[in-house]
């Protein structure tokens, strides 16, 4: 039996990497998924993969930091399936620098994508969720909904050279714990997963200079030097970085009905690394 049968899930940044793995995992358990990416092609690839596996999906293309995006994504769920059961705020990227070299634009971009965008999506979903809970209460029903926000070990412990990223991911933790207290009365579980070193295109091994990755209109330098990856693998008790499937599994745990009495928590998916 699929544990998420007919649940409606919103997953930001789900055209690639961890987000795609999350969307596919939820869909494999029966969820209908609103897929998001900046670009059409990766979003439609995820939608096609979900449909090929026998579940339902639709794409909401666009930048999560755009002022109108949150309403569009919420409406995509309501118009297609009439409700919202799961929200995974996954979209994000690192734009790193030490403080003396960090521009206002870099700082603000990290807060916009990691803190403001999830806030707007949750705010846009608040009224539809409240109305659904009211109708369910009148019908004598209690249905638990799920919010899973994505943080990072950088947001828990900080990381040199990632001041803006660490600040944005720390804000996610505060938002998670505050909203768990606000939305408990609506039977919404609000939790966060803080990832350690997960092997994605953003953390791939590079030779020499970091490679440029297009994020909207920006070209962001990403990638990790081989010697640092070797150092991380020595530091991680499990001896390696995590896969995107393992990252998705951590999120999935908070979407299950077995987690209906867990809220306001932050779990590290880091292979045992605590720094």
* E strand or H helix that includes residue 269: strand 266-269
Which of 94, 83, 66 is closest to 145 using CA atoms?
83
- Helix 69-81 to helix 117-138 angle (10° resolution) is 30
How far is Cα of residue 60 from the mean position of the Cα atoms in its chain?
A: 15
Please tell me the total number of residues recorded for the chain in this structure: 275
Active site residue 252: no
Candidate list 165, 186, 197, 252, residue with the active-site label:
165
Which of 73, 85, 58 is closest to 143 using CA atoms?
85
Query: What is the residue-wise DSSP string for 183-213?
Result: HGGGTEEEEEEEE-SB-SGGG-B-SSSPEEE
Q: Residue 79: left (phi > 0), alpha (psi -120 to 50), or beta?
A: alpha
Residue 207 backbone dihedrals phi, psi, to 5 degrees: -115, 125
What count of other Cβ atoms lies within 10 Å of the Cβ of residue 123?
12
130 burial via Cβ count (<10 Å: 0-12, 13-18, 19+): middle
Catalytic center residues: 165
């Amino acid at each position: 039996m699929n544990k998420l049968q007919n649940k409606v899930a919103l997953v930001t940044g789900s055209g690639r990497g961890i987000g795609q793995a999350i969307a596919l995992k939820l869909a494999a358990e029966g969820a209908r998924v609103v897929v998001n990416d900046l670009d059409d092609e990766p979003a439609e690839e995820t939608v096609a993969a979900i449909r090929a596996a026998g579940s339902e999906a639709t794409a909401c293309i666009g930048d999560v930091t755009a002022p109108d995006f949150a309403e569009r994504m919420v409406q995509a769920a309501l118009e297609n399936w009439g409700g919202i059961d799961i929200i995974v705020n996954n979209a994000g990227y690192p734009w790193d620098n030490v403080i003396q070299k960090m521009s206002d634009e870099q700082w603000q971009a990290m807060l916009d994508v990691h803190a403001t965008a999830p806030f707007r999506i949750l705010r846009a979903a608040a009224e539809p969720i409240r109305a659904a809970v009211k109708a369910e209460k009148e019908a004598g029903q209690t249905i638990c909904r799920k919010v899973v926000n994505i943080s990072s070990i950088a947001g828990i412990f900080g990381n040199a050279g990632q001041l803006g990223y660490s600040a944005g991911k720390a804000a996610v933790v505060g938002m998670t714990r505050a909203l768990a207290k606000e939305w408990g009365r609506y039977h919404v579980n609000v939790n966060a997963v803080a990832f350690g070193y997960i092997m994605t295109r953003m953390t791939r091994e590079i030779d020499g200079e970091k490679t440029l990755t297009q994020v909207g209109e920006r070209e962001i330098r990403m990638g990790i030097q081989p010697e640092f990856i070797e150092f991380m693998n020595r530091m991680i008790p499990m001896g390696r970085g995590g896969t995107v499937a393992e990252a998705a599994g951590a999120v999935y745990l908070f979407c299950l009905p077995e987690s209906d009495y867990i809220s306001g928590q932050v779990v590290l998916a880091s292979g045992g690394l605590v720094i």
